[in-house]
Structure 1
Amino acid sequence: MNNDLIQFALTAFGLLFVMINPIAVAPVFVAVTAGMSAGQRRATLTRAVIAAFVVTMFFLFVGRAFLSYMGVSVQAFAISGGILLFVIAFPMLMGQRSPIQAPQAGQASADVAIFPLTIPQLAGPGTIATILLLATQVGADWERLAVLTGVISVIYLIAWPTLFMAERVLNRLGDGPMHIITRVLGLVLAALAVQYILNGLTGFYQSLVGQ
């Protein structure tokens, strides 16, 4: 793997890890699986992770075709995607968490796995927008596409044990460290969002100059 691919892999990993953010999903997972046995939590988490992976793969492989069909330029999507990422990052900078509440008693674990764990947590609008944004950069480069697929797979493999151990870890950490982690991740995401907006504006300017 050459240096460009390594840099691309690291950038994609950092961006997608912050977007998927299993650390921030942990309190939601603990809330929606409260009262479940260890086996039920394991099954629910497995379904949620698999469903999230399928959703992201779908948008990764059909993302460019989708944008082309809708008549959306790469520059326009970079700018709008950057704005969306910044909107998501701002509450994180303020230390806020997802307001998703636990399901009502008797709600099926399969329902919980899809909502709220898969959508909007593990594969929410921000993650989908990021996948589409990266897909436009990858283009027809199958080597980078393979790297990106591997990066997404690794993140979800990390998410599974992170969420499964969430209740034990959160009880030990408390709220203070979680707020710090959330703010740091929000700062990183905000910086990446600004960079995408700048890239989109630069590309738009260059397209105007080239006409």
Structure 2
Amino acid sequence: MQIETLFTYLTLTVIGLLPIMNPPAAATVLLGLSKGRDKNYIVSQAKAVGVYLFIALCITFFIGATVLDLFSISIPSLRLGGGIIIVAIGFNMLFPRKEADNTSPGQDSIALVPLTIPSLCGPGTMALIISLAAELAIHRDELHMPSVYSGVIAGFAIVALIAAFTLSMAYPLLRALGQNGINAFTRIMGFLLICMGVQFFTLGIEEIALEIYQML
């Protein structure tokens, strides 16, 4: 095991993924969707996100490209799908249904969708990880792969822990804002999510248009 190689890829993984994932943004999504919930619900969702995120990152790294190829899914299509999901969530937050306020705590887990996918492990994150896996496959003979894989997986674990901790900190903010503050905050975040979804959708359209143009 080459410790220097392991540490290098661990650091690169953490530094590369955190800005794209933006855990504080996912925490605001959790905050907006947790109206009427208690601390135990928020903390349990944060812990579940940590587990789901680590699994999702590992799956994307090892078989993500294969799965996309198997179903003929391109990265632009992934962006389009993620954008549609985010826009739908944003509309539900911007125009909440009255019956949603009566939902009892502990129901309707949001840890996998939308917090893990597509908020944290979205199209950008998947594209970066798949590109990394492809690059490592090209240079397989030049690298000590056990150290590289260990470093990347350890980086995934650290990123997942950071994300879970960040999301768990949403509860103090939830208490500070109060019910009226949460109502206003939910609508603001709903609007911002719609904008983010449209941005994902627009990027996907641009990439598809570019691919078509290059084929002509």
TM-score when scaled to structure 1? 0.65
Note if contact 1:9-1:147 (Cα within 8 Å) is conserved in structure 2: no
| Alpha-carbon separation, structure 2, partners of 1:161 and 1:9 | 17
Cα offsets for 1:64-101 (capped at 9, x unmatched): 24323322111111112111111111122235689272
| Aligned equivalent of 1:78 | 79
Structure label with greater radius of gyration: 2
| 1:29 partner SS | coil
Residue 13 (structure 1) aligned with residue 14 (structure 2): no
| Aligned equivalent of 2:205 | 201
Cα offsets for 1:144-200 (capped at 9, x unmatched): 99877655533320222433x578x1xx64432112211221222111111111111
The structure 1 residue matched to 2:50, chosen from 49, 53, 59, is 53
Residue 101 (structure 1) aligned with residue 98 (structure 2): no
Distance 1:146 1:21, change over 3 A: farther
1:102 positional shift: 2.0
| Aligned equivalent of 1:122 | 111
Unaligned 5+ segments in structure 1 are: 34-40, 104-111
| Alpha-carbon separation, structure 1, partners of 2:195 and 2:153 | 24
| 2:37 partner SS | helix
What code does the residue aligned with 2:57 have? L
Distance 1:15 1:191, change over 3 A: farther
The structure 1 residue matched to 2:167, chosen from 159, 173, 184, is 159
| Aligned equivalent of 2:141 | none
Distance 1:95 1:15, change over 3 A: farther
Note if contact 2:80-2:200 (Cα within 8 Å) is conserved in structure 1: yes
| Aligned equivalent of 1:109 | none
Aligned residues, how many? 179
Distance 1:198 1:26, change over 3 A: closer
Distance 1:122 1:10, change over 3 A: same
| Aligned equivalent of 2:184 | 180
1:201 positional shift: 0.8
Unaligned 5+ segments in structure 2 are: 1-10, 134-150
Alpha-carbon RMSD? 3.7
Note if contact 1:82-1:196 (Cα within 8 Å) is conserved in structure 2: yes
| Aligned equivalent of 1:141 | 132
| Alpha-carbon separation, structure 1, partners of 2:154 and 2:99 | 32
| Alpha-carbon separation, structure 1, partners of 2:56 and 2:160 | 12
Note if contact 1:86-1:190 (Cα within 8 Å) is conserved in structure 2: yes
| Aligned equivalent of 2:148 | none
TM-score when scaled to structure 2? 0.63
| 1:102 partner SS | coil
